[in-house]
Amino acid sequence: MGSNHKTAFVKDRLDFLEKSGLYRRLRTLIAEGPTAKVDGKAVINLCSNDYLGLSQNKQVLEKAVTALQQVSQCSSRLIAGNHPKITELEYLLANHRRKESALVYPTGYAANLGVVMTIADKSATIFSDELNHASIVDACRLSGATTTIFRHNDTDHLQKLMRRSQGRKIVITEGIFSMDGDVGKLLEIQSIADHYDAITIIDDAHGDFIFGPSFSGMPAKLGVNFDIHVSSMSKGLGCFGGYVATTMPIRELLINTSRQFIYTSALPVHLCSAAISAIPIAKSGHLQKRLHWNIRYFSSAMKRVGFELGNSASQIIPIIIGREVQAVELSEELLKEGVFAQAIRYPTVKKGQARLRISLSAIHRQEHLDSAVDAFRRAGKKTCVL
């Protein structure tokens, strides 16, 4: 009786989430190229961030298997886990991002926490775009710095806020925003940051290996030079882990003070080998050509059907629904139609801005996209979205 009473709030919260259309559950998914089996049902997979399809590339898989001599180094890099393959990977990533150095973290989430919590403290003010990823939001909170939120991509608002601020300043934004697929105003942000002598940080997880000369990401595409680049190897590269590309002194400071680097096990060697083999394939460029064709084709088709796609300029295409319950209903109906597209709801996006987040890949063929659009048309009518 006592135990149930103590945890009664748990059921109350779950009941509230379910009634509000905010309840989430884990589905069993087995990827099969551009398709998957979701809870045993064969579907077209429109949820993966494997933008170039490299997670299932035979050459990448062979390199990972060949390198699999141990499951993990079973230690932090500063103790006994700094394998030469990690150093080789960091050299390639630094060159790729056109920076002096790079530092690999186990995940992109850890990389964002590690950077922000190292660079910012109680004496600093962080200026963060309101749509920045949850890992950035958490990092700002944990850093102890004063965090000031500027309206999404509103550089006039950013400048006004910075003008009022005293002390050390840090500006953080994204290259491609993860839920809207739109591009950060990097040129304007860099200009404002330079004027106020602010450190600039960019999370470019969704632009990396997809955009820019040599596919070096959004800063290279837009011709800006942010101080610190944070990215992920589980998106365009199709592998695993996160990394930071920056100056050598900042890298050394991260090694010496970043708790997310010091107090966790090193990225396993076979995952480093997979990323090393994936980099030249990604940078060859033929996969991006197919991806960009898919983006144009699918976006045009969905607009013709009557769906609202927001301001996406990338492979992330939000199908804006609005009501949380209706977004869930559309997602469930699509699954019956053989398409896996997850409903994205609060707190990932604002209340009343629920959407289905489509992630296109280079390995989607035209027949996959045509089938998906037809399924959206049918499901949209059944759920009264169209």
Q: Which domains does the chain show, CATH number per domain? A: 18-47+285-382 (3.90.1150.10), 58-284 (3.40.640.10)
Digit-by-digit pLDDT tens for the chain (386 residues) are 455 789 999 999 999 999 988 999 999 999 999 999 999 999 999 999 999 999 999 999 999 999 999 999 999 999 999 999 999 999 999 999 999 999 999 999 999 999 999 999 999 999 999 999 999 999 999 999 999 999 999 999 999 999 999 999 999 999 999 999 999 999 999 999 999 999 999 999 999 999 999 999 999 999 999 999 999 999 999 999 999 999 999 999 999 999 999 999 999 999 999 999 999 999 999 999 999 999 999 999 999 999 999 999 999 999 999 999 999 999 999 999 999 999 999 999 999 999 999 999 999 999 999 999 999 999 999 999 98
Strand partners for 359: 316
The radius of gyration of the chain's CA atoms, rounded to the nearest angstrom, is 21
35's enclosing H/E stretch is strand 35-38
| Whole-number pLDDT of residue 1 | 45
Tokens encoding 372: 């998906």
Query: What DSSP string describes 167-189?
Result: SEEEEEEESB-TTT-PBP-HHHH
Q: For residue 286, count other CB atoms closer than 10 A to its CB.
A: 10
Query: pTM of the predicted model, to two decimals?
Result: 0.95
The span from the first CA to the last CA of the chain, in angstroms, equals 49
317's enclosing H/E stretch is strand 316-322
Annotate 31-41 with b (16+ C-beta within 10 A) or e (fewer): eeebbbebeee
Question: Nearest 5°: phi and psi at 196?
Answer: -100, 10
| Whole-number pLDDT of residue 5 | 83
Query: Closest Cα to residue 301, out of 309, 289, 290?
Result: 309
C-alpha distances out from residue 120 to 73, 169, 190, 254, 374, Å: 30, 9, 18, 12, 49
Work out whether strand 354-359 and strand 146-150 pair parallel, antiparallel, or are unpaired: unpaired
